Structure 1
Amino acid sequence: MSAANMLSLLVLGAIWGGSFLFMRVAAPEFGVFALVELRTILATLVMLPFAMAVGGWRALGQYWWQIAFIGVVNTAVPFVLFNYSSLHLEAGINAILNATAPMFGAIVALVWLGDKLSRSAVAGLFLGFVGVALLSAHRVGEGDVSFLPILSACAATFCYGIAACAMKRWLVGIKPIVVAFGSQFYAAIALVPFSLATLPTVMPSALAWTNAVALAVLGTGIAYILYFNLIASVGPAKAITVAYLVPLFGILWGLLFLNETLSLQTLVGGVLILLGITLTTGVITRLRRVKP
């Protein structure tokens, strides 16, 4: 991997890790639905020229219901769920839980697509869910957080797993940037009634607006473009390693900007989750097979 691609990977990890900080600050003032509406609209505008440059309108018309499904399952529902969990959980905790998406993807692929799980993948699932259980027990045990926000974050990553399998089943050959753009577009449409019904009664502060715009433009629009450029440059096996950087940056930004704390139990749970993802996805094996 070249220095430029390595830098892109680090920047992408920093941006996606920062997304949980942005949600943590903006969600209390905007509300869970209005924030996602703003996020999807601005992200759609950012990705519009890139999607249209590769003939996006044709794919949006031809595969409208498949992309709309992705928009609901991969964008609207998980974004709302993470906004809710960010009202109760630290940015670092949410970033760690977000990393469970590949594990849920493996389970959905087993049931829906008939993909087989190796012994190492099964071991990875076990370790990953032990990490989630450890993390959950610690947070709930503190007494100030119920299990519902943790369940909400895990439900969001389960949605990501469904969406990944749906794309593999229905949208092979469609430009990823078109699917990303379309998912934001259809999600924005789907959330209109919910957003209008829950608009904030008080104008959000300048700080909340800054974080909301950063979440939309940086954390969604520009981040998707960086990610797909990485896939084109170094391949999906190496690009997916950004999943291991997101929790690290999420924790770092939370510590630096929100004065969050990192307990030993949280650290152990996070390490188990990351180790579980490594085994479940077989990323190490794939990286060894990829020629430099």
Structure 2
Amino acid sequence: MKRSDLIELLVLAAIWGASFLFMRVAAPEFGAVATAAVRVAGASLFLLPLLGLREGLGDLRTHWKGLLLVGLLNSAFPFALFSFAALSINAGLSSILNATTPMWGALVAWAWFGQRLDGSRMLGLALGFAGVVLLAWDKASFKPGGSGFAIVACLIAALSYGIAASATKRYLTGASPLAVATGSQFAAALLLAAPAWTLRPAALPSGHAWGAVALLALLCTGIAYILFFRLMKRVGPTNTISVTFLIPVFGLLWGWIFLGETLSTSMAAGCLVVLLGTALAVGVLKLPSTSPPATS
């Protein structure tokens, strides 16, 4: 990987890590669904002209059914769930739970495409789930004021991302990356429009909340997608997916700097276990081979 690609990877991780910070600021005033709706609507307005100028809108018409499905699974549903979680858990914890996405993706690919799970991947899945248990052990209360529902929401959102990855592979292979990014955001905006209007905030959100949701739309969604797909093209999916392991670092860092969040020992330990499990589950790390050496 070239130095310029590595810098872009770090920038992308920093941007996506910041999305959890912006949701913490926006969601209390907008509400979870409206935060997600404004995010995808803004990203659509940013991406649609780019797609029209560069490639035209033909892919949107050809693949509209697949884009509608991916828009639901990769944007509308998980964005609303993470915004809901931001109402009660800190940005750092949300970003760590988001890092389970490739682990869920490996599990979905096994169930959907019959992709083989070797010993390393199975150990990774077990470790990843153990890390989630460690993270949630003293927080997953479902009583009023507890964080149980927020943690479950993050895990369902990560699972939705994992399903979306397989759905993209199955239904949108013929569409360009920019068309997938644009079409999925536009579809998500359509899907969220009615519920967001129904659940709109009673009072006009503050300037800080509007600024946070604008950054979510333009920076964390529009620009981030362009960086992501450019890296996918230049360095391949295996290298690009390593951004997943960097996002919690920035999520924790931005939460500490801007929101005064703290990192507990159990959260740090759970984060390391989740990241190790995810690295094994997606094949970034592998167990050493135990097969005997070949003899001549």
Asked if Structure 1 and Structure 2 have the same fold, meaning a TM-score greater than 0.5 normalized by the shorter chain, the answer is yes
Shift of the alpha carbon at 1:59?
1.3
Aligned residue number for residue 126 of structure 2: 126
Shift of the alpha carbon at 1:112?
1.3
State the TM-score, normalizing by the size of structure 2.
Answer: 0.93
Letter of the aligned partner of 1:44 in structure 2?
S
Q: Take 1:13 and 1:146, find their aligned partners in 2: how far apart are those partners?
A: 25
Q: Take 1:101 and 1:227, find their aligned partners in 2: how far apart are those partners?
A: 16
Matches within 5 A, 1:1-292: 1-140=1-140, 144-284=145-285
Q: Take 2:203 and 2:76, find their aligned partners in 1: how far apart are those partners?
A: 24
Q: Name the larger-Rg structure.
A: 2
Contact 2:29-2:201 at 8 Å conserved across structures: yes
Q: 1:56 to 1:272 in 2, by over 3 A?
A: farther
Shift of the alpha carbon at 1:174?
1.7
Contact 2:85-2:94 at 8 Å conserved across structures: yes
Which structure shows the higher helix fraction? Answer: 1
Contact 1:34-1:198 at 8 Å conserved across structures: yes
State the TM-score, normalizing by the size of structure 1.
Answer: 0.94
Q: Deviations over 1:89-118 (max 9, x none)?
A: 100000000010111111111111111111
Residue identity over aligned pairs, in percent, reads 46
SS in 1 for 2:274: helix
Letter of the aligned partner of 1:77 in structure 2?
F
Count of paired positions:
285
SS in 1 for 2:263: coil
Q: Take 1:38 and 1:215, find their aligned partners in 2: how far apart are those partners?
A: 9
Q: 1:56 to 1:119 in 2, by over 3 A?
A: farther
Q: Take 1:209 and 1:146, find their aligned partners in 2: how far apart are those partners?
A: 26
Shift of the alpha carbon at 1:284?
4.1
Q: 1:56 to 1:156 in 2, by over 3 A?
A: farther
Q: Take 2:182 and 2:141, find their aligned partners in 1: how far apart are those partners?
A: 40
Contact 1:102-1:161 at 8 Å conserved across structures: yes
Q: Take 1:134 and 1:12, find their aligned partners in 2: how far apart are those partners?
A: 28
Letter of the aligned partner of 2:190 in structure 1?
I
Q: Take 2:172 and 2:200, find their aligned partners in 1: how far apart are those partners?
A: 34
Root-mean-square deviation (CA, aligned residues, Å) is: 1.5
Contact 2:142-2:149 at 8 Å conserved across structures: no
Letter of the aligned partner of 1:124 in structure 2?
G
SS in 1 for 2:260: coil
Q: 1:56 to 1:104 in 2, by over 3 A?
A: farther
Q: Take 2:112 and 2:172, find their aligned partners in 1: how far apart are those partners?
A: 15
Question: Does 243-252 or 144-153 show the bigger shift?
Answer: 144-153
Contact 2:140-2:149 at 8 Å conserved across structures: no
SS in 1 for 2:248: helix
Contact 1:138-1:265 at 8 Å conserved across structures: no
Q: Take 2:146 and 2:217, find their aligned partners in 1: how far apart are those partners?
A: 27
SS in 2 for 1:76: helix
Q: Deviations over 1:205-259 (max 9, x none)?
A: 1111111101111110000001111112222111111111100000000011101
Contact 1:138-1:266 at 8 Å conserved across structures: no
Where structure 1 has 5 or more consecutive residues not aligned to the other structure, the ranges are 286-292
